């Protein structure tokens, strides 16, 4: 059976939650493979709204196994609080329906403190993090001083891991003017939640391998977007993990040969939260209209998103780095009523035409978009479920996007409701 990876192919907020939920009904296992609770998914199922941050989107679907992979950094206190909230909405979560990789690194309270202290420094350019400790937790993972889920099972190992982390963090805190970390308090906090977390712990790589061999369908769920990838994003205004599709393999322990289809989620225009370059950003009435009609506020932070025209040059780039098989085009209905639409087809840099966004930050800042204009449409696309329901100009817009990004459209989403979807290619088909 086919296994599908879902990735955002812009700066996040592309509408992955709805698409993952739509696909998860047909999957047997849904696995998160990177990121932390800085990313948010909003799902609307049967009129009920679920806001998820750490939990995979599949938890709202009964009879599915939801997996948090080792590529994720996990705040255990936030997870338990989120589980409690979802249970209050009538969703059952048990060790039979939720699994956490034993080698998943934990986000501890001092990670968030360090994150916020750095962002609060007036002498350092802000990255625009959510201040939830994701970056510092990934630093500890790479620095080989992380506390992982499996460490909670043994008191001596846990103390050794905490001591190793504090040697590093207390030195950093001294330089930032923060008080030393209370070692005993950290250990006590971890011991208090150890049993609750450990009940979900398992060798995820082994379970996924067995499930795949049994013919079950696995859906790999990414967070954020490829333009926030630590290697291929608009560095340094990026997240602290790899977001592109290849991370699905390393972030869960399943080989890349297990991936059959990569679905890139693409908004019909472009948005970004926080700092960093944004070539097609609009500061006029059109940008305001996109934000208002698209309800562009972050699920996690509530921050207003920056809005701009569709950037085909960037999406072509991210489709290439993630090996995207087909895209799901979302929020098409937000463009209803525009007289004219613009698509960025490339950039000009110091008088030279570019067909990709350069890596150097100073060059990115000097890139100006080259636009192609298309007539808009006045009819409504909201709720469309077939090509016949779409205006001719909307179809032309979609076809032109396909040409420019060199990737076919597999799905079109026309509202937050999961049924309002036009299926072109089934990602799960063999």
- Provide the annotated active-site residues: 13, 41, 141
- Tell whether residue 81 is among the known ligand binding residues: no
Q: Is 144 annotated as a binding residue?
A: yes
Dihedral of the alpha carbons of 1, 248, 315, 269, in degrees to the nearest 10: 90
Cα dist from 132 to 39, 90, 112, 118, 320, whole Å: 10, 27, 5, 12, 31
Q: What DSSP letter does each residue of 164-210 carry, written as one string?
A: HHHHHHHHHHHHHTPPPP-HHHHHHHHHHHHHHHHTTEE-HHHHHHH
Q: Cα–Cα distance between 277 and 128 in angstroms, integer? A: 12
Determine if residue 257 is labeled as part of a ligand binding site.
no
* Contacts for 418 with CB less than 8 Å, ≥ 6 apart: 18, 21, 22, 44, 45
> 193 exposed, middle or buried (CB, 10 Å; 0-12, 13-18, 19+)?
middle
> Is residue 75 within 8 Å of 107, Cβ to Cβ?
yes
Coil vs helix vs strand at 214: coil
The answer to whether the annotation marks 41 as part of a ligand binding site is: yes
Q: Is 415 annotated as a binding residue?
A: yes
**Do the annotations mark residue 304 as ligand-binding?**
yes
CB 99 within 8 A of CB 64: no
Q: Which neighbouring-strand residues pair with 343?
A: 310, 372
Cα distance between residue 281 and residue 306, in whole Å: 7
195 is in an annotated binding site: no
Classify 394 as helix, strand or coil. Answer: helix
Answer yes or no: are the C-beta atoms of 30 and 20 closer than 8 Å.
yes
Q: Is 71 annotated as a binding residue?
A: no
Q: Is 333 annotated as a binding residue?
A: yes
**359 appears as a binding residue in the annotation:** no
**Is 224 marked as binding a ligand?**
yes
Question: Annotated binding residue at 248?
Answer: no
Residue recorded with tokens 């059959």: 260
16 annotated ligand-binding residue: yes
Cα 388 to chain centroid distance, Å, stands at 32
Q: Is 305 annotated as a binding residue?
A: yes
Is 300 annotated for ligand binding?
Answer: yes
Would you say 276 is a known binding-site residue? no
DSSP symbol at 422 = E
User: Residue 8 annotated as binding?
Assistant: no
Q: Is 53 annotated as a binding residue?
A: no
Q: Which two tokens stand for residue 278?
A: 């944004």
Binding residues for substrate: 299-305
Binding residues for IMP: 13-16, 38-41, 130, 144, 224, 239, 303
Binding residues: 12-18, 38-42, 130, 144, 224, 239, 299-305, 331-333, 413-415
Binding residues for GTP: 12-18, 40-42, 305, 331-333, 413-415
């Amino acid at each position: 059976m086919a296994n599908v990876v879902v990735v955002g192919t812009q700066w996040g907020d592309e509408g992955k939650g709805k698409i993952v939920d739509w696909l998860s009904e047909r999957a047997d296992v849904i696995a998160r493979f990177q990121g932390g609770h800085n990313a948010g998914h909003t799902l609307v199922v049967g009129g009920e709204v679920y806001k998820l941050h750490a939990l995979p989107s599949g938890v709202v679907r009964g009879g599915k196994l939801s997996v948090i992979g080792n590529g994720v950094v996990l705040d255990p206190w936030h997870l338990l609080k989120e589980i409690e909230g979802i249970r209050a909405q009538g969703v059952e979560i048990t060790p039979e329906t939720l699994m956490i990789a034993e080698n998943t690194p934990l986000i501890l309270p001092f990670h968030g403190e360090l994150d916020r202290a750095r962002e609060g420094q007036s002498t350092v350019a802000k990255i625009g993090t959510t201040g939830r400790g994701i970056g510092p937790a990934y630093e500890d993972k790479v620095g080989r001083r992380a506390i992982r889920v499996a460490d909670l099972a043994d008191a001596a190992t846990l103390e050794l891991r905490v001591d190793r982390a504090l040697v590093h963090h207390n030195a950093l805190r001294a330089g930032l003017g923060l008080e030393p970390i209370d070692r005993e308090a950290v250990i006590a906090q971890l011991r208090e939640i150890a049993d609750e977390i450990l009940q979900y712990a398992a060798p995820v790589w082994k379970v996924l391998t067995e499930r795949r061999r049994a013919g079950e369908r696995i859906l790999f769920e990414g967070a954020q977007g490829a333009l926030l990838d630590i290697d291929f994003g608009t560095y340094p205004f990026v997240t602290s993990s790899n977001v592109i599709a290849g991370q699905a393999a390393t972030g869960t322990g399943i080989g890349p040969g297990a991936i059959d289809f990569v679905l890139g989620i693409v908004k019909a225009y472009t948005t970004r939260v926080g700092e960093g370059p944004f070539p097609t950003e609009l500061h006029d009435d059109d940008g305001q209209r996109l934000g208002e009609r698209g309800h562009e506020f972050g699920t996690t932070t509530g921050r207003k998103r920056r809005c701009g025209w569709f950037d085909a040059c960037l999406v072509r780039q991210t489709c290439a780095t993630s090996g995207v098989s087909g895209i799901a085009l979302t929020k098409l209905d937000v463009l209803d009523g525009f007289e004219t639409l613009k698509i960025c087809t490339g950039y000009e840099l110091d008088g030279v035409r570019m067909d990709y966004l350069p890596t150097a930050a100073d060059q990115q800042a000097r890139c100006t978009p080259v636009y192609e204009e298309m007539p808009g449409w006045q009819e409504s696309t909201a709720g469309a479920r077939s090509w016949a329901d779409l205006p001719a100009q909307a179809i032309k817009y979609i076809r032109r996007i396909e040409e420019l990004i060199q990737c076919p459209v597999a799905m079109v989403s026309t509202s937050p409701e999961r049924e309002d979807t036009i299926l072109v290619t089934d990602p799960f088909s063999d």
